Copies of this chain bind each other. A is one copy, B any other.
Protein backbone atom coordinates (compact mmCIF):
# COMPACT_ATOMS: atom_id res chain seq x y z
CA UNK A 1 0.00 0.00 0.00
CA UNK A 2 1.22 3.51 -0.79
CA UNK A 3 1.08 6.53 1.55
CA UNK A 4 -2.03 8.68 1.09
CA UNK A 5 -4.15 11.49 2.48
CA UNK A 6 -7.92 11.31 2.71
CA UNK A 7 -10.75 13.51 3.87
CA UNK A 8 -14.33 14.05 2.78
CA UNK A 9 -15.15 17.61 3.76
CA UNK A 10 -18.26 17.81 1.54
CA UNK A 11 -21.25 17.42 3.85
CA UNK A 12 -23.87 15.07 2.39
CA UNK A 13 -27.56 15.66 3.11
CA UNK A 14 -29.13 12.49 1.79
CA UNK A 15 -32.78 11.59 1.46
CA UNK A 16 -36.33 12.67 0.82
CA UNK A 17 -37.12 16.38 0.99
CA UNK A 18 -33.56 17.52 1.73
CA UNK A 19 -33.64 20.09 -1.13
CA UNK A 20 -36.19 22.13 0.80
CA UNK A 21 -33.58 23.07 3.45
CA UNK A 22 -30.97 24.30 1.02
CA UNK A 23 -31.58 28.01 1.70
CA UNK A 24 -30.79 27.75 5.42
CA UNK A 25 -27.72 25.68 4.69
CA UNK A 26 -26.32 28.32 2.30
CA UNK A 27 -27.11 31.15 4.72
CA UNK A 28 -25.31 29.33 7.57
CA UNK A 29 -22.24 29.17 5.32
CA UNK A 30 -22.32 32.90 4.66
CA UNK A 31 -23.89 32.97 1.19
CA UNK A 32 -26.11 36.02 0.45
CA UNK A 33 -26.23 36.40 -3.36
CA UNK A 34 -26.59 32.99 -4.97
CA UNK A 35 -26.22 31.84 -8.56
CA UNK A 36 -28.74 29.04 -9.17
CA UNK A 37 -27.06 27.14 -11.94
CA UNK A 38 -28.90 24.44 -13.88
CA UNK A 39 -29.14 22.61 -17.20
CA UNK A 40 -32.16 22.15 -19.42
CA UNK A 41 -35.81 22.83 -18.82
CA UNK A 42 -36.60 19.56 -17.01
CA UNK A 43 -35.53 20.94 -13.61
CA UNK A 44 -37.79 23.94 -14.26
CA UNK A 45 -40.76 21.87 -15.46
CA UNK A 46 -40.50 19.44 -12.53
CA UNK A 47 -40.80 22.37 -10.13
CA UNK A 48 -37.39 21.68 -8.60
CA UNK A 49 -35.94 25.08 -9.53
CA UNK A 50 -39.04 26.74 -8.07
CA UNK A 51 -38.74 24.78 -4.80
CA UNK A 52 -35.03 25.50 -4.47
CA UNK A 53 -35.56 29.20 -5.25
CA UNK A 54 -38.35 29.38 -2.65
CA UNK A 55 -36.06 27.80 -0.05
CA UNK A 56 -33.39 30.42 -0.77
CA UNK A 57 -35.88 33.27 -0.69
CA UNK A 58 -37.32 32.07 2.63
CA UNK A 59 -33.76 32.22 3.97
CA UNK A 60 -33.52 35.84 2.80
CA UNK A 61 -31.04 35.21 -0.01
CA UNK A 62 -30.92 36.98 -3.38
CA UNK A 63 -31.13 34.52 -6.29
CA UNK A 64 -29.76 34.73 -9.83
CA UNK A 65 -30.81 31.87 -12.14
CA UNK A 66 -28.57 30.71 -14.96
CA UNK A 67 -29.73 27.71 -17.01
CA UNK A 68 -28.66 26.16 -20.27
CA UNK A 69 -25.69 23.97 -19.31
CA UNK A 70 -25.28 21.22 -21.91
CA UNK A 71 -23.81 17.74 -21.42
CA UNK A 72 -20.03 17.93 -21.96
CA UNK A 73 -20.18 21.55 -20.76
CA UNK A 74 -18.49 24.24 -22.83
CA UNK A 75 -16.10 27.05 -22.03
CA UNK A 76 -18.52 29.61 -23.56
CA UNK A 77 -21.16 28.85 -20.96
CA UNK A 78 -18.56 29.05 -18.20
CA UNK A 79 -17.53 32.53 -19.41
CA UNK A 80 -21.16 33.69 -19.35
CA UNK A 81 -21.48 32.46 -15.77
CA UNK A 82 -18.29 34.21 -14.72
CA UNK A 83 -19.54 37.47 -16.23
CA UNK A 84 -22.87 37.20 -14.39
CA UNK A 85 -21.11 36.46 -11.07
CA UNK A 86 -18.89 39.52 -11.43
CA UNK A 87 -21.73 41.80 -12.50
CA UNK A 88 -24.05 40.73 -9.66
CA UNK A 89 -21.41 40.31 -6.92
CA UNK A 90 -22.45 36.71 -6.43
CA UNK A 91 -20.88 35.03 -3.40
CA UNK A 92 -22.21 31.44 -3.62
CA UNK A 93 -22.97 29.03 -6.47
CA UNK A 94 -25.67 26.38 -6.16
CA UNK A 95 -25.57 23.79 -8.93
CA UNK A 96 -28.91 22.06 -9.48
CA UNK A 97 -28.31 19.13 -11.81
CA UNK A 98 -25.77 16.44 -12.64
CA UNK A 99 -22.08 16.29 -13.40
CA UNK A 100 -22.12 18.82 -16.24
CA UNK A 101 -23.93 21.42 -14.15
CA UNK A 102 -21.66 20.88 -11.14
CA UNK A 103 -18.49 20.80 -13.25
CA UNK A 104 -19.31 24.08 -14.93
CA UNK A 105 -20.31 25.59 -11.56
CA UNK A 106 -16.82 24.70 -10.30
CA UNK A 107 -15.24 26.34 -13.36
CA UNK A 108 -17.36 29.48 -12.84
CA UNK A 109 -16.32 29.50 -9.16
CA UNK A 110 -12.68 29.41 -10.25
CA UNK A 111 -13.02 32.13 -12.88
CA UNK A 112 -15.26 34.57 -11.01
CA UNK A 113 -12.57 35.27 -8.42
CA UNK A 114 -9.70 35.46 -10.96
CA UNK A 115 -8.77 38.40 -13.14
CA UNK A 116 -7.47 36.39 -16.11
CA UNK A 117 -9.21 33.78 -18.25
CA UNK A 118 -10.42 30.68 -16.39
CA UNK A 119 -8.79 28.35 -18.95
CA UNK A 120 -5.42 29.40 -17.46
CA UNK A 121 -6.11 26.91 -14.65
CA UNK A 122 -6.74 24.10 -17.15
CA UNK A 123 -3.56 25.06 -19.00
CA UNK A 124 -1.50 25.00 -15.80
CA UNK A 125 -0.77 28.73 -16.14
CA UNK A 126 -2.43 29.72 -12.84
CA UNK A 127 -3.17 28.32 -9.35
CA UNK A 128 -6.38 29.49 -7.62
CA UNK A 129 -6.09 31.54 -4.45
CA UNK A 130 -9.75 32.32 -3.78
CA UNK A 131 -12.81 30.73 -5.36
CA UNK A 132 -16.56 31.07 -4.74
CA UNK A 133 -18.05 28.28 -2.60
CA UNK A 134 -20.04 25.70 -4.58
CA UNK A 135 -22.80 23.36 -3.39
CA UNK A 136 -25.16 21.12 -5.31
CA UNK A 137 -28.62 19.63 -5.47
CA UNK A 138 -27.92 16.44 -7.40
CA UNK A 139 -30.44 15.15 -9.97
CA UNK A 140 -28.62 12.19 -11.54
CA UNK A 141 -26.48 9.42 -10.08
CA UNK A 142 -23.37 9.42 -12.21
CA UNK A 143 -20.32 11.62 -12.23
CA UNK A 144 -19.57 11.93 -8.53
CA UNK A 145 -18.75 15.59 -9.13
CA UNK A 146 -20.86 16.40 -6.04
CA UNK A 147 -18.01 15.13 -3.81
CA UNK A 148 -14.94 15.51 -6.02
CA UNK A 149 -12.34 18.28 -6.43
CA UNK A 150 -12.44 17.85 -10.23
CA UNK A 151 -14.09 19.71 -13.12
CA UNK A 152 -14.13 18.65 -16.80
CA UNK A 153 -14.80 21.31 -19.44
CA UNK A 154 -14.73 21.28 -23.25
CA UNK A 155 -13.09 24.28 -24.90
CA UNK A 156 -15.03 25.07 -28.06
CA UNK A 157 -11.89 26.19 -29.86
CA UNK A 158 -10.68 22.77 -31.05
CA UNK A 159 -13.29 20.89 -28.97
CA UNK A 160 -10.64 20.14 -26.35
CA UNK A 161 -12.07 18.29 -23.32
CA UNK A 162 -9.80 18.85 -20.31
CA UNK A 163 -9.99 18.41 -16.54
CA UNK A 164 -8.77 20.49 -13.62
CA UNK A 165 -8.51 19.42 -9.98
CA UNK A 166 -8.16 21.49 -6.80
CA UNK A 167 -9.32 21.05 -3.19
CA UNK A 168 -10.60 24.64 -3.42
CA UNK A 169 -13.42 23.69 -5.80
CA UNK A 170 -14.64 20.66 -3.83
CA UNK A 171 -18.33 21.36 -3.06
CA UNK A 172 -19.05 22.42 0.54
CA UNK A 173 -22.25 20.38 0.66
CA UNK A 174 -24.37 18.15 -1.54
CA UNK A 175 -28.10 17.52 -1.33
CA UNK A 176 -28.83 14.00 -2.58
CA UNK A 177 -32.52 13.14 -2.76
CA UNK A 178 -33.00 9.88 -4.70
CA UNK A 179 -36.58 10.94 -5.57
CA UNK A 180 -35.10 13.61 -7.86
CA UNK A 181 -33.53 10.84 -9.99
CA UNK A 182 -36.74 8.87 -10.51
CA UNK A 183 -37.56 10.74 -13.72
CA UNK A 184 -34.10 10.20 -15.25
CA UNK A 185 -34.72 8.23 -18.49
CA UNK A 186 -33.32 4.68 -18.83
CA UNK A 187 -30.46 5.60 -21.19
CA UNK A 188 -29.21 8.40 -18.93
CA UNK A 189 -29.61 6.18 -15.86
CA UNK A 190 -27.50 3.47 -17.49
CA UNK A 191 -24.92 5.98 -18.77
CA UNK A 192 -24.59 7.38 -15.26
CA UNK A 193 -24.16 3.92 -13.78
CA UNK A 194 -21.50 3.09 -16.37
CA UNK A 195 -19.62 6.25 -15.41
CA UNK A 196 -19.69 5.15 -11.74
CA UNK A 197 -18.54 1.67 -12.67
CA UNK A 198 -15.69 3.26 -14.64
CA UNK A 199 -14.67 5.39 -11.65
CA UNK A 200 -14.21 2.19 -9.67
CA UNK A 201 -12.54 0.26 -12.50
CA UNK A 202 -9.98 3.03 -13.02
CA UNK A 203 -8.98 2.49 -9.37
CA UNK A 204 -9.39 -1.29 -9.23
CA UNK A 205 -6.91 -2.19 -11.95
CA UNK A 206 -3.64 -1.25 -10.29
CA UNK A 207 -0.10 -2.49 -9.93
CA UNK A 208 -0.08 -1.66 -6.21
CA UNK A 209 -0.15 -4.83 -4.11
CA UNK A 210 -1.38 -5.31 -0.54
CA UNK A 211 -4.55 -3.24 -0.92
CA UNK A 212 -7.06 -5.85 0.26
CA UNK A 213 -9.47 -3.36 1.86
CA UNK A 214 -9.75 -0.99 -1.10
CA UNK A 215 -10.09 -4.01 -3.43
CA UNK A 216 -13.02 -5.22 -1.33
CA UNK A 217 -14.59 -1.73 -1.20
CA UNK A 218 -14.31 -1.43 -5.00
CA UNK A 219 -16.00 -4.82 -5.34
CA UNK A 220 -18.76 -3.75 -2.93
CA UNK A 221 -19.58 -0.74 -5.12
CA UNK A 222 -19.43 -2.73 -8.36
CA UNK A 223 -21.65 -5.48 -6.92
CA UNK A 224 -24.15 -2.81 -5.87
CA UNK A 225 -24.22 -1.23 -9.34
CA UNK A 226 -24.57 -4.69 -10.91
CA UNK A 227 -27.56 -5.41 -8.66
CA UNK A 228 -29.33 -2.05 -8.63
CA UNK A 229 -29.21 -0.87 -12.26
CA UNK A 230 -31.42 -3.69 -13.60
CA UNK A 231 -33.82 -3.07 -10.67
CA UNK A 232 -34.07 0.61 -11.50
CA UNK A 233 -34.54 0.00 -15.21
CA UNK A 234 -37.35 -2.46 -14.45
CA UNK A 235 -38.98 -0.24 -11.83
CA UNK A 236 -37.84 3.40 -12.21
CA UNK A 237 -39.72 4.42 -9.06
CA UNK A 238 -37.88 1.99 -6.75
CA UNK A 239 -36.66 4.49 -4.13
CA UNK A 240 -34.18 2.20 -2.38
CA UNK A 241 -32.58 1.03 -5.61
CA UNK A 242 -32.31 4.67 -6.77
CA UNK A 243 -30.87 5.57 -3.34
CA UNK A 244 -28.21 2.85 -3.46
CA UNK A 245 -27.19 3.93 -6.96
CA UNK A 246 -27.05 7.58 -5.98
CA UNK A 247 -24.89 6.88 -2.92
CA UNK A 248 -22.74 4.51 -5.01
CA UNK A 249 -21.99 7.44 -7.33
CA UNK A 250 -20.45 9.35 -4.44
CA UNK A 251 -18.58 6.39 -2.95
CA UNK A 252 -17.23 5.50 -6.40
CA UNK A 253 -15.56 8.89 -6.70
CA UNK A 254 -14.79 10.23 -3.20
CA UNK A 255 -11.58 8.15 -3.42
CA UNK A 256 -12.46 5.80 -0.57
CA UNK A 257 -12.06 3.13 -3.29
CA UNK A 258 -8.76 4.52 -4.51
CA UNK A 259 -6.56 5.58 -1.61
CA UNK A 260 -3.14 4.00 -1.20
CA UNK A 261 -2.95 2.64 -4.75
CA UNK A 262 -1.76 3.68 -8.18
CA UNK A 263 -4.81 4.53 -10.32
CA UNK A 264 -5.15 4.19 -14.07
CA UNK A 265 -7.53 6.67 -15.80
CA UNK A 266 -6.46 5.79 -19.35
CA UNK A 267 -10.01 4.79 -20.30
CA UNK A 268 -11.32 8.18 -19.18
CA UNK A 269 -8.76 9.96 -21.33
CA UNK A 270 -9.57 7.75 -24.33
CA UNK A 271 -13.28 8.38 -23.79
CA UNK A 272 -12.98 12.15 -23.40
CA UNK A 273 -11.91 12.35 -27.04
CA UNK A 274 -15.01 10.37 -28.07
CA UNK A 275 -17.51 12.53 -26.21
CA UNK A 276 -15.48 15.62 -27.16
CA UNK A 277 -15.76 14.80 -30.88
CA UNK A 278 -19.16 13.06 -31.10
CA UNK A 279 -20.92 14.65 -28.11
CA UNK A 280 -22.09 11.24 -26.87
CA UNK A 281 -22.92 10.67 -23.19
CA UNK A 282 -19.70 10.20 -21.22
CA UNK A 283 -20.99 6.91 -19.77
CA UNK A 284 -21.89 5.65 -23.26
CA UNK A 285 -18.38 6.43 -24.49
CA UNK A 286 -16.95 4.58 -21.49
CA UNK A 287 -19.12 1.54 -22.28
CA UNK A 288 -17.43 1.45 -25.69
CA UNK A 289 -13.88 1.97 -24.40
CA UNK A 290 -13.73 -0.09 -21.18
CA UNK A 291 -14.23 -3.63 -22.59
CA UNK A 292 -11.78 -2.86 -25.39
CA UNK A 293 -9.23 -1.54 -22.87
CA UNK A 294 -9.72 -4.67 -20.75
CA UNK A 295 -9.17 -7.03 -23.70
CA UNK A 296 -6.04 -5.09 -24.62
CA UNK A 297 -4.39 -5.04 -21.18
CA UNK A 298 -5.67 -8.34 -19.73
CA UNK A 299 -2.44 -10.28 -20.23
CA UNK A 300 -0.66 -7.79 -17.95
CA UNK A 301 -2.35 -9.28 -14.86
CA UNK A 302 -4.52 -12.33 -15.46
CA UNK A 303 -4.95 -12.89 -11.70
CA UNK A 304 -6.52 -9.47 -11.19
CA UNK A 305 -8.93 -9.94 -14.09
CA UNK A 306 -9.83 -13.37 -12.68
CA UNK A 307 -10.53 -11.74 -9.28
CA UNK A 308 -12.76 -9.18 -11.05
CA UNK A 309 -14.58 -12.05 -12.80
CA UNK A 310 -15.11 -14.16 -9.68
CA UNK A 311 -15.85 -11.51 -7.06
CA UNK A 312 -17.86 -9.03 -9.15
CA UNK A 313 -19.47 -11.15 -11.87
CA UNK A 314 -19.82 -14.42 -9.98
CA UNK A 315 -17.81 -16.39 -12.57
CA UNK A 316 -16.48 -19.81 -11.60
CA UNK A 317 -12.74 -19.81 -11.06
CA UNK A 318 -10.95 -22.02 -13.54
CA UNK A 319 -7.92 -22.83 -11.42
CA UNK A 320 -6.15 -24.70 -14.20
CA UNK A 321 -6.73 -21.94 -16.76
CA UNK A 322 -7.22 -18.59 -15.00
CA UNK A 323 -7.17 -16.79 -18.33
CA UNK A 324 -10.50 -18.44 -19.18
CA UNK A 325 -11.99 -16.93 -16.04
CA UNK A 326 -10.42 -13.53 -16.76
CA UNK A 327 -11.97 -13.55 -20.21
CA UNK A 328 -15.35 -14.67 -18.82
CA UNK A 329 -15.32 -11.63 -16.51
CA UNK A 330 -14.82 -9.22 -19.41
CA UNK A 331 -17.57 -10.99 -21.34
CA UNK A 332 -19.90 -10.75 -18.34
CA UNK A 333 -19.16 -7.05 -17.97
CA UNK A 334 -19.83 -6.46 -21.69
CA UNK A 335 -23.07 -8.46 -21.46
CA UNK A 336 -24.11 -6.36 -18.46
CA UNK A 337 -23.48 -3.14 -20.40
CA UNK A 338 -25.64 -4.43 -23.27
CA UNK A 339 -28.33 -5.63 -20.85
CA UNK A 340 -28.67 -2.11 -19.44
CA UNK A 341 -28.86 -0.64 -22.94
CA UNK A 342 -25.38 0.74 -23.34
CA UNK A 343 -23.52 0.87 -26.67
CA UNK A 344 -20.42 -1.30 -26.91
CA UNK A 345 -18.98 -0.39 -30.30
CA UNK A 346 -17.93 2.68 -32.25
CA UNK A 347 -20.89 2.32 -34.61
CA UNK A 348 -23.35 2.45 -31.69
CA UNK A 349 -22.28 6.02 -30.85
CA UNK A 350 -21.82 7.01 -34.52
CA UNK A 351 -18.06 7.13 -34.11
CA UNK A 352 -16.07 6.29 -37.24
CA UNK A 353 -12.94 4.22 -37.68
CA UNK A 354 -11.56 6.80 -40.11
CA UNK A 355 -11.58 9.39 -37.30
CA UNK A 356 -9.12 7.36 -35.19
CA UNK A 357 -6.08 9.40 -36.37
CA UNK A 358 -7.95 12.56 -35.33
CA UNK A 359 -8.77 11.05 -31.92
CA UNK A 360 -5.13 10.09 -31.45
CA UNK A 361 -3.94 13.58 -32.44
CA UNK A 362 -6.34 15.20 -29.98
CA UNK A 363 -4.87 13.10 -27.14
CA UNK A 364 -1.69 15.21 -27.58
CA UNK A 365 0.38 12.30 -26.33
CA UNK A 366 3.66 13.03 -28.06
CA UNK A 367 6.18 10.75 -26.37
CA UNK A 368 4.07 10.54 -23.20
CA UNK A 369 1.89 7.63 -22.23
CA UNK A 370 -1.63 7.23 -20.82
CA UNK A 371 -2.59 5.23 -17.76
CA UNK A 372 -0.62 3.38 -15.10
CA UNK A 373 -1.81 -0.24 -14.92
CA UNK A 374 -0.38 -0.52 -18.43
CA UNK A 375 1.28 2.56 -19.87
CA UNK A 376 -0.25 3.17 -23.29
CA UNK A 377 1.64 4.89 -26.09
CA UNK A 378 0.07 6.28 -29.31
CA UNK A 379 0.17 2.88 -30.91
CA UNK A 380 -1.57 1.20 -27.95
CA UNK A 381 -4.28 3.87 -27.93
CA UNK A 382 -4.88 3.36 -31.62
CA UNK A 383 -5.13 -0.41 -31.10
CA UNK A 384 -7.71 0.07 -28.34
CA UNK A 385 -9.79 2.42 -30.49
CA UNK A 386 -9.63 -0.17 -33.30
CA UNK A 387 -10.67 -2.96 -30.92
CA UNK A 388 -13.61 -0.77 -29.83
CA UNK A 389 -14.59 -0.39 -33.52
CA UNK A 390 -14.65 -4.12 -34.00
CA UNK A 391 -16.66 -5.02 -30.94
CA UNK A 392 -20.06 -6.38 -31.84
CA UNK A 393 -22.67 -3.64 -31.92
CA UNK A 394 -25.47 -3.69 -29.39
CA UNK A 395 -28.42 -5.87 -30.49
Contacts and interface: CB of A to CB of B under 8 A. Distances in A.
Interface string A1-28: 1111111111111111110000000000
A391 interface: no
Contacts of A17: 3
Interface stretch (A128-136, A216-224, A323-331, A354-362): A216-224
A228 interface: yes
Nearest to A217: B220
Interface in A190-226: 209-213, 216-217, 219-221, 223-224
Interface stretch (A99-107, A235-243, A345-353): A235-243
Contacts of A247: 1, 213, 259-260
A244 interface: yes
A142 B1 CA distance: 19
A237 B186 CA distance: 50
Contacts of A228: 212
Contact of A1 (B10, B227, B244, B251): B244
A387 interface: no
Nearest to A8: B8
B4 A15 contact: yes
A289 interface: no
Nearest to A1: B243
Given A3-B14, A220-B216, A220-B219, A209 B9 contact: no
A256 interface: yes
A248 interface: yes
A378 to B, nearest CB: 35
Interface in A244-291: 244, 247-248, 251, 256, 259-260
Contacts of A12: 4-7
B239 A227 contact: no
B227 A223 contact: no
Contacts of A223: 216
Contact of A227 (B212, B219, B244, B259): B212
Nearest to A227: B212
A16 B212 CA distance: 18
Nearest to A18: B3
A251 B14 CA distance: 19
A248 B215 CA distance: 12
Contact of A7 (B3, B5, B11, B243): B11
Nearest to A251: B213
Contacts of A256: 251, 256
A240 B18 contact: no
A338 B5 CA distance: 35
A389 B316 CA distance: 43
Nearest to A4: B14
Contact of A5 (B14, B211, B227): B14
A239 B210 contact: yes
A106 to B, nearest CB: 19
Given A9-B7, A9-B9, A217-B217, A244 B15 contact: no
Given A1-B15, A1-B178, A216-B220, 11 more contacts: A1-B244, A5-B12, A6-B12, A7-B12, A8-B8, A14-B260, A15-B260, A210-B243, A212-B244, A213-B221, A213-B251
Nearest first, the 7 closest Cβ-Cβ pairs linking A and B are A210-B240, A3-B15, A216-B220, A8-B8, A7-B11, A6-B12, A220-B220
22 contacts: A3-B15, A3-B16, A4-B14, A4-B15, A5-B13, A6-B11, A7-B8, A7-B11, A9-B9, A14-B260, A210-B240, A210-B241, A212-B228, A213-B220, A213-B244, A213-B248, A216-B220, A217-B220, A217-B251, A220-B220, A251-B256, A256-B256
